[in-house]
Amino acid sequence: MSPNAPPRCDICVVGGGIVGVAAARELKRRHAGAEIVVLEREGEPAVHQSGHSSGVIHAGIYYAPGSLKARLCVEGARRLYEYCAGRGIDARRDGKVIVATRESELPQLDELERRGLANGVPGLRRIDPSELREVEPYANGIAALHSPATGVVDYRAVTQALAADFEAAGGRIVTGCEIRSMAPAGASVTLAHSGGRTEAAKVVLCAGPWADRLAVAAGADPDPRVVPFRGAYLRLRPERAGLVRANIYPVPDPDLPFLGMHLTRDPHGTVLLGPTALFVGARDAYRLRRVVPRDLAESLLWPGTRKMMRRHWRTGVTELRHAVSIDSFVAECRRYVPELRREDVERSSHSGVRAQAIARDGSLIDDFVVSETEHAVHVRNAPSPAATSSLALAELIADRLDAVS
Ligand SMILES: Cc1cc2nc3c(=O)[nH]c(=O)nc-3n(C[C@H](O)[C@H](O)[C@H](O)COP(=O)(O)OP(=O)(O)OC[C@H]3O[C@@H](n4cnc5c(N)ncnc54)[C@H](O)[C@@H]3O)c2cc1C
């Protein structure tokens, strides 16, 4: 890591989350002789979403066939397992079940099965309640999907390994460097930042929760905007961690891009419950009460946010209840793990803030959004499963950057 940004470089990548670092590494592989620099505001990579996720390697079940998420998740998961094996990172293919507990969820379970098969998810199959109990002895439902290719990994460790590859190949990561504005200047782009100015021939912006601000500053369409949704977790007490072997998920609400509160055994053996999905007042609301006036104002002034709130207010009320009441949180998870009790869980300091793009018409944008301005490629919506997809997404970003003038 380096403290100073250079006055000029060939390619500048803004944002040292998993997507930015993977893109920088891919670009350095393609353009070995080019000077490529990652500029990251925080003191190290993976401080925001990439270091605060559920750690799940998604297999590609949920996503509309033909979407970027469908293609890049399946390919990204395959490449991530390969990468972790090569770098000695523990990526465990422990599998997962998606459990339907009500008749009304069966059509959506059918749809997930159809999508997963169309997307080429390895080994995905429908299982009945007795097979479900063989896979997850404490899960209960009327039908389920089993995905043996789903796994878990520490994405912070993956980001660090990708960063080490990039630096070993001659790339530079500058930390403590906040980009304040960017403007095309002839054949290049000038980035103004906390360390001065850097002129780059091309720029990739992977600023996660802050991605829309830099895109709009560069002249891109203000639609969509990023709105933060906080995800809080509980954890099972170690003596009750046996309630979950690997990953137990509910059938998600088809109108929302979130996967629902699940129970996940992380690579260290801790079982997390969550995350919630609560609209919050800061793009880094790791504490529930944190409010950044600019973040809140931008969210509320965006017409799409108000339309989204009108459409999904019932879900908002439920999420608020889960956020403030452990009883309500546990009751939701008890639907698919009936033996779960309030006294089995404890608060977890783990929380994350999802950067979710909302369109002007109030729709929560489901797919990844990558767009271009002069000399620049912007990643404007990279929520889950972007960590899983990062190595494949990096290739798409590099292809797009190679194509921009
Ligand atoms: C609660 C939660 C659970 C999740 N679970 C999963 C999961 O199980 N599996 C999965 O695949 N995905 C999951 N995700 C999604 C995944 O974490 C993200 O899709 C992924 O980390 C996005 O990476 P990123 O690099 O785009 O963003 P980030 O990791 O947020 O990185 C953006 C970076 O840009 C930097 N930055 C921003 N503005 C500036 C600026 N002006 N100047 C310089 N630097 C700047 C930030 O400091 C930050 O380091 C989850 C996300 C959350 C929040």
Span 314-341, pLDDT tens digits: 998 888 888 889 999 999 999 999 999 9
CA of residue 29 to ligand 1 center, whole Å: 23
Task: Check residue 185 and give its pLDDT.
Answer: 85
Tell me what pLDDT residue 209 has: 96
pLDDT per residue over 393-402, tens digit each? Answer: 999 999 999 9
**Whether the CB of 224 sits within 6 Å of ligand 1:** no
Q: Residue 178: CB within 6 Å of ligand 1? A: yes
Rg over CA atoms, the chain? 21
- CATH number for the region 227-364 comes to 3.30.9
Q: Answer for the pair 366, 360: CB distance below 8 angstroms, yes or no.
A: no
- Checking if the pLDDT of 267 tops 90, the result is no
C-alpha 49 – ligand 1 centre gap (Å):
3
User: Would you state the pLDDT for residue 131?
Assistant: 97
pLDDT at 366: 95
Mutate-to-test residue for ligand 1 from 384, 389, 391, 397, highest number of ligand atoms within 8 A of CB: 384
- Residue 324 to residues 274, 329, 351, Cα–Cα distance (Å): 13, 9, 14
Q: Confidence band (pLDDT; 50, 70, 90) for 140?
A: very high
The 3-state secondary structure of the chain, one letter per residue: CECCCCCEEEEEEECCCHHHHHHHHHHHHHCCCCCEEEECCCCCCCCCHHHCCCCEECCCCCCCCCCHHHHHHHHHHHHHHHHHHHHCCCCECCCEEEEECCHHHHHHHHHHHHHHHHHCCCCCEEECHHHHHHHCCCCCCCEEEEECCCEECCHHHHHHHHHHHHHHCCCEEECCCCEEEEEEECCEEEEEECCEEEEEEEEEECCHHHHHHHHHHCCCCCCCEEEEEEEEEEEECHHHHHHCCCEEEECCCCCCCCCCCEEEECCCCCEEEECCCEECCCCCCCCCCCCCHHHHHHHHHCHHHHHHHHHCHHHHHHHHHHHHCHHHHHHHHHCCCCCCCHHHEEEEEEEEEEEEEECCCCCECCCCEEEEECCEEEEEECCCCHHHHHHHHHHHHHHHHHHCC
State how far the Cα of 224 lies from the Cα of 172, in Å rounded to an integer. Answer: 31
CATH code 3.30.9 region(s) in the chain: 227-364
Q: What is the pLDDT of residue 44?
A: 97
Query: What pLDDT sits at residue 72?
Result: 98
In terms of CATH, what superfamily is 8-50+156-224+367-403? FAD/NAD(P)-binding domain (3.50.50.60)
Is the predicted pLDDT of residue 1 greater than 80, yes or no? no
Average pLDDT over residues 43-72: 97
* Ligand 1 site, residue 39, Cβ cutoff 6 A: yes
pLDDT-derived band at 285 (thresholds 50, 70, 90) equals very high
Task: Find the mean pLDDT for residues 198-226.
Answer: 94
Amino acid at 234: L
Q: Is 95 in the pocket of ligand 1 (CB under 6 A)?
A: no
Is the Cβ–Cβ distance between 19 and 393 less than 8 Å? yes
Distance of CA 183 from the midpoint of ligand 1 (Å): 24
Mutation test of ligand 1: which of 49, 54, 68, 92 has the most ligand atoms closer than 8 Å to its C-beta?
49
Q: Is the pLDDT assigned to residue 405 strictly greater than 80?
A: no
Nearest Cα residue to atom 39 of ligand 1: 207
User: What is the pLDDT averaged over residues 193-197?
Assistant: 94
Ligand 1 centroid – CA 207 distance (Å): 8
In angstroms, the CA 343 to CA 324 distance is: 17
Which range is least confidently modeled, 28-32, 58-62, 213-217, 383-387?
A: 213-217
pLDDT tens across 345-364, in order? 999 889 999 999 999 999 99
182 lines ligand 1 (CB under 6 A): no
Cβ of residue 275 lying under 6 Å from some atom of ligand 1: yes
Is residue 66 scored above 90 in pLDDT?
yes
Give me the percent of the chain exceeding a pLDDT of 70.
100
Q: Is the CB of 382 under 6 A from ligand 1?
A: yes
| Residues 6 or more apart whose Cβ sits within 8 Å of residue 260 | 249, 250, 251, 252, 253
14 lines ligand 1 (CB under 6 A): yes
Mean of all residue pLDDT scores within the chain: 95
Contact in structure between 172 and 24 (CB atoms under 8 Å): no
1-10, 112-121, 176-185, 366-375, range with the lowest pLDDT: 1-10
Of the CA atoms within 13 Å of residue 363, those in its CB half-sphere come to 7
For tokens 């309500």, the residue is 328
Atom of ligand 1 nearest to the CA of 21: 25
Distances in Å between the alpha carbon of 160 and those of 43, 167, 241, 295?
Answer: 13, 10, 28, 28
User: What stretch(es) of the chain map to CATH 3.50.50.60?
Assistant: 8-50+156-224+367-403
Q: Is a pLDDT exceeding 90 seen at residue 241? A: yes
Tokens of 184: 């095309």
Predicted confidence at residue 255, as pLDDT, reads: 85
pLDDT attached to residue 194: 94
Residue 317 in tokens? 């009320």
Q: How far apart are CA 115 and CA 52, in angstroms?
A: 27
pLDDT score, position 323: 87
Q: Is the CB of 96 within 6 Å of ligand 1? A: no
What pLDDT band is residue 299 in, cutting at 50, 70 and 90?
A: very high
What number does the ligand 1 atom closest to the CA of 355 have? 53
Query: For the residues 66-89, what does the mean pLDDT come to?
Result: 98
